[in-house]
Structure 1
Amino acid sequence: MCGRFFGSTLQPNCSVGMSKKKAIVIGAGIAGLGASVRLAVKGYDVSVYEKNDFFGGKLTSRNVNGFRFDYGPSIFTMPQNVTELFELAGKNPADYFEYTRLDPIFHYFYEDGTRIKGCSDTTKFAESVAENTLDSKETVLKYLDKVKEINELTEDVFINRSLHKFKNFLNKETVKGVLNFGKIDAFNTMNEVNEKTFDDPKMVQFFNRYATYNGSNPYEAPGTLNVIQHYEINRGAYLPKGGMQQISRSVYELAVELGVEFHFGKKVDKIETSKSKVEAIVVEGERREADLFMSNMDVYYLYNQLLPQAKRPSKVLDQPKSGSALVFYWGINKSFDELTVHNILFAKNMETEYEAIFEKNNVCNDPTIYINITSKKCQGDAPEGGENWFTMINVPNNVGQDWDEIIARSRKNIIAKINRTLGTDIEPLIVAEDVMDPRGIDERYLSAFGSIYGNRFSSNFSAFFRHPNFSKEFKNLYFCGGTVHPGSSIPLSLKSAEIAVGMVE
């Protein structure tokens, strides 16, 4: 029997006596995995082609000398965007995917000895801020209420729907957003909003940091992006059992159960098109035809490598690219009680740090350091008594810098800062090490210039310069992933798959 019943609804495109329509997905990143599940639920015969020999894209892991590291995304919010996939398929999410809410979410460290505990309870968080800075509990809570309001005014318009279909603006939610446009801080930068709100420069630095969640500069990104804080602080952050890799693994296993076929180590070399539709992809010299094509590939490379015959969307492709990351994966032969799963060691001078990254395409000698330690919660991620440190700093994308020099210099500076902040000598404790820089990110994931998040938010209208979830030239070509609407991150990439598949038929 071909059809599946979920509740009382027969899924489309699949009925007795009819052959399934075929869909091809290019790329097995988290958005491609999500799209494959949604297409399978719709009744499509789905095949996924992935150039690497693994699924998950950046959302994967690696073992180094007995330490397991999540290689890419490390902060997990909006888990409903994952569990929804299982519910659509009539499955119990808990059978595939378990996660816990983190409390505290972060520990924050400043060079002058100030420490703030990022509690999941917003009142306790605000109290921690008030105890350690010049800002009051009331100021923090009012700010968090403000970013919550921004989310309520923008989520349905800018995240849940396509920005590239006129009909999506003809609804009461959009009208409400337009009428309250002055409330979303669109004409001020993140830094301007935060400087007006907080008395203590530490809290300006604290909230400006969220611009880096999509590789942007708080001195140029619109204040609306302060909404990012809402998703982490107000809604909470989580950690999957088994680490972040379990997100992609669970969705992959679901896709396989639904009959999706995966072809790993199969790089797509070309997309063949007719006047108004995609006819086939070419893989290792062989054509693969389908009725529908979904790309989870960075749109910069898609147009430049696979679709040179298409009209080039230069307004999208030539936007400033996001920043990148330099990550040291360190196996540490010691446990640090003052650290939690997520930790931030702030730079002394915020302005110097962002100027180096976004204006000078370099890295300052005192960068903000992020340390992610999943072994705090996930047994087996490190040997007993040790910890797996995902140690990251924000860096520019690759424009030909001397990365070997930057890596050596940054490693030295990172170790010195950790030693100052924690009162330790960390280098003798490093018993395993691996490194990822923008060059590797570009090569491994085909992320243009090693920019992790596609285009950065460099103006008030940057949201409108992300690629749409559909092709205006080829009627059966759709797009998902971090370089298209609504943006990067796990939840937004999954949302892009939802929007794209929702447009099918």
Structure 2
Amino acid sequence: MTKTVGIIGAGIGGLALSIRLANLGFKVTVFEKNSYAGGKLSELKLNGFRFDKGPSLLTMPFLIDELTNLQSSKHKFEYQKLEVITNYFYTDGTQLKASSNIDDFAQEIHSKLDEKKESVLKHIKRNEFYFKTTEDLFMKQSLHQIKNFINLKTVKGILLSPFLGLFSTMHKKNKQTFSNPKTIQLFNRYATYNGSNPYKAPALMNMISHLEFNLGAYLPLKGMHQITNHLVHLAEDAGVEIKYNETVEALEIGSNNRINYIKSNGVNYPFDIVASDVDIRVLYKHLLPCSFTPTKLIQQEKSSSAYVFYWGINKEFSALGLHNILFSDDYKKEFDYLFSKQFPTDDPTIYINITSKYCKDDAPEGCENWFVMVNVPHNKNSTIEYAIDIRKNVVEKINSILRTNIEQFIVTESTLSPVDIENQTSSYGGSLYGNSSNNKFAAFLRHANFSSSIKNLYLVGGSVHPGGGIPLCLLSAKIASQLIVDRVKK
């Protein structure tokens, strides 16, 4: 008899899980509260401009290729590797380009920042070691099954743990490696890729830069939202039913500690297996009886959030590329404000993403679509007190560094705040990556991809193991699908 699976949430993790299970013969239904799929990986169309609303960088695209290759589909996922990954701007006028060619990048750092080329190459090589030593242990399997620790790769990773930067911070390791504060700041920035603080996160997190420099940075040919569209096509081709505008209200638990029904819009739907792609805090606080709540897990420090401006600009800026960073003068102060004072600094680091540099249909001719993002704390209130100030600070900084008057070129505008992120994606406080990675045990403090107390409940997405971001969400689905298959076989 075919097993039925109900998945809550059509984010990247939920869609990937649905594709894997449907191709294994399960009958899968996905419940999505919005009228669209993708969660944070959605899009905004505004007066002739198209914007990717959330994630803007693709790494490890082979994980999407894996899903494509599970079935015969007319839908292909096309992407291109970036030759220039990021353009960096400092307040003193220093500019540099991070080339995908590691030697060229190291030479750029040497020429512009008077850093030893060998230091850059050594750092990137060390980050590759971090990644390759830990990927099998932390990213490709459940950390919450004893059997997964009884194999050669895991034993090797454990034996090498003293050399993995767990007892130093990203900043300390980067300060030991480099002499120029600008180089240190550049590599500290990778903590923001999972919403963490480089002055607290373990040096192991430096491995994030390995994904860009050694594995490559990519962009789908039609922008990041192409990922969502592609996964929806694959799911539908595999026979998955995606039910939009379906708000899940509760999970009905039977006397045998199994979920009997998903209650959505007042209707009970029975399933053999249930999987959640929603934030674990939402899952336990709103969908399950409080007796099942793992209090310590959901009280972990949350990652940062973002405040985003979507600007249609009626000018083309040749100095800017696809990814651009305008650094603050005091990076430590910026993170102190984010995680201690819970308020953005008046001198924020600004990220500008312009997909129209590659995807010409994303903006009218002679124009650009600017996704302008500032890291802000996850929100604990229902209002944003700094909305006016943050826009003023962003405009002033852009004008100062790019020597322009940006407001005269803004022809259309929309915003996304932590409150909006929470309302649209059910991410607690608008946290982008679930828990932060601000301590060396963070990997072990994420929720497992299965419930230890509810027999047929599994979890995917950015708030559970192995973490937030597109690649890790896709890996969470791979881990969960294997767990489900293993249990069904028993």
Q: What TM-score bracket applies, with the shorter chain setting the length? A: over 0.9
Name the CA distance, whole Å, in 2 between partners of 1:310 and 1:295. 18
Match of residue 37 from structure 1: 19
- Aligned partners of 1:303 and 1:310 also within 8 Å: no
Match of residue 57 from structure 2: 75
Match of residue 34 from structure 2: 52
The Cα of 1:134 is off from its aligned counterpart by 2.9
- Tell me the secondary structure at the aligned position of residue 131 of structure 2: helix
Pairing of 1:331-370 with structure 2 (within 5 A): 331-370=312-351
- Tell me the secondary structure at the aligned position of residue 76 of structure 1: coil
Q: CA-to-partner distance for each residue in 1:15-60, whole Å, 9 max, x for gaps?
A: xxxx422111100001100000011011011111000110011101
- Tell me the secondary structure at the aligned position of residue 362 of structure 2: coil
Q: CA RMSD in A?
A: 1.1
Q: CA-to-partner distance for each residue in 1:386-410, whole Å, 9 max, x for gaps?
A: 000000000001123861x412111
- Tell me the secondary structure at the aligned position of residue 308 of structure 2: strand
The Cα of 1:458 is off from its aligned counterpart by 2.0
Pairing of 1:171-186 with structure 2 (within 5 A): 171-186=151-166
Name the CA distance, whole Å, in 2 between partners of 1:159 and 1:452. 19
Name the CA distance, whole Å, in 1 between partners of 2:165 and 2:432. 25
The Cα of 1:310 is off from its aligned counterpart by 4.1
The Cα of 1:485 is off from its aligned counterpart by 0.2
- Tell me the secondary structure at the aligned position of residue 301 of structure 2: coil
Q: CA-to-partner distance for each residue in 1:456-491, whole Å, 9 max, x for gaps?
A: 012110111101000101121100000000000001
Aligned AA (2:226): Q
Pairing of 1:476-491 with structure 2 (within 5 A): 476-491=456-471
Does residue 116 in structure 1 map to residue 78 in structure 2?
no
- Tell me the secondary structure at the aligned position of residue 84 of structure 2: coil
Name the CA distance, whole Å, in 1 between partners of 2:349 and 2:112. 19
Aligned AA (2:366): G
Name the CA distance, whole Å, in 1 between partners of 2:89 and 2:265. 51
The Cα of 1:311 is off from its aligned counterpart by 1.9
Aligned AA (2:107): E
Match of residue 414 from structure 2: 434
Pairing of 1:19-418 with structure 2 (within 5 A): 19-91=1-73, 95-274=75-254, 275-400=256-381, 403=384, 405-418=385-398
Same amino acid, percent of matched pairs:
47
Name the CA distance, whole Å, in 2 between partners of 1:299 and 1:402. 23
The Cα of 1:91 is off from its aligned counterpart by 4.2
Taking structure 2 as the reference length, the TM-score comes to 0.97
Mark the runs of 5 or more structure 2 residues left unpaired by the alignment. none
The Cα of 1:312 is off from its aligned counterpart by 1.3
- Aligned partners of 2:73 and 2:237 also within 8 Å: no
Q: CA-to-partner distance for each residue in 1:379-431, whole Å, 9 max, x for gaps?
A: 2100000000000000001123861x412111111111111111111001000
- Aligned partners of 1:59 and 1:72 also within 8 Å: yes
Aligned AA (1:125): F
Does residue 453 in structure 1 map to residue 433 in structure 2?
yes
- Aligned partners of 1:329 and 1:388 also within 8 Å: yes
Name the CA distance, whole Å, in 2 between partners of 1:69 and 1:310. 42
The Cα of 1:449 is off from its aligned counterpart by 1.0
The Cα of 1:309 is off from its aligned counterpart by 4.3
Name the CA distance, whole Å, in 1 between partners of 2:17 and 2:187. 33
The Cα of 1:343 is off from its aligned counterpart by 0.3
Distance 1:169-1:90 versus aligned 2 partners, 3 A rule: farther
Distance 1:117-1:149 versus aligned 2 partners, 3 A rule: same
Name the CA distance, whole Å, in 2 between partners of 1:434 and 1:52. 19
- Tell me the secondary structure at the aligned position of residue 437 of structure 2: coil
Aligned AA (1:362): F
Name the CA distance, whole Å, in 1 between partners of 2:51 and 2:73. 29
Name the CA distance, whole Å, in 2 between partners of 1:30 and 1:114. 37
- Aligned partners of 2:383 and 2:419 also within 8 Å: no
Aligned AA (1:102): L
Aligned AA (1:288): Y
- Aligned partners of 1:208 and 1:218 also within 8 Å: yes
Aligned AA (1:120): S
Name the CA distance, whole Å, in 1 between partners of 2:10 and 2:429. 20
Match of residue 7 from structure 1: none
Taking structure 1 as the reference length, the TM-score comes to 0.94
- Aligned partners of 1:468 and 1:484 also within 8 Å: yes
Aligned AA (1:54): Y
